[in-house]
């Protein structure tokens, strides 16, 4: 299953509302997760099962969607949110990732 994220990069400012999209080549139901990665660090899950916020992640980060179309929203954007975000599907093996969206 191919995952296509858009945009590939996004310029934004603190306080903005930003939305990242992930489209799957076939339905993945709600088996879609989002990860945040900062330079020099491993990825960290922020959203799982399409819309569940991982414990410890601020509520300004949210996810929605099902089937083939998903979104990650950050509102309002804070300085610590500038990072690269990846979507990932766990619906079928092999698990696959989107190419990433760099938020700068």
Minimum Å distance from CB 93 to other proteins? 5
Q: What is the DSSP letter of 19?
A: E
Count of Cβ atoms closer than 10 Å to residue 54 Cβ: 15
Which of 74/89 has CB closer to other proteins? 89
Minimum Å distance from CB 26 to other proteins? 15
CA proximity to 72, closest of 6, 11, 26, 3: 6
- Our finding on whether 72 is near other proteins (CB under 8 A) is no
Q: What is the DSSP letter of 39?
A: T
Restricting to residues 16-55, name those near other proteins by CB under 8 A: 29-33, 35, 42-45, 48-49, 52
CA 36 to chain centre: 7
Which residues sit at the interface with other proteins, rule CB under 8 A? 29-33, 35, 42-45, 48-49, 52, 86, 88, 90-91, 93-100
């Amino acid at each position: 299953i191919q995952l296509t994220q858009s945009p590939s990069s996004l310029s934004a400012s603190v306080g903005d509302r930003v939305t990242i999209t992930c489209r799957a080549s076939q339905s993945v139901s709600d088996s879609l997760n989002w990860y945040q990665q900062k330079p020099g660090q491993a990825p960290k899950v922020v959203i799982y099962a399409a819309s569940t916020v991982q414990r410890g992640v601020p509520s300004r980060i949210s996810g929605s969607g099902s089937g083939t179309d998903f979104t990650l929203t950050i509102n309002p954007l804070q300085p610590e949110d500038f990072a690269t975000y990846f979507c990932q599907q766990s619906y079928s093996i092999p698990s696959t990732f989107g190419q990433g969206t760099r938020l700068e």
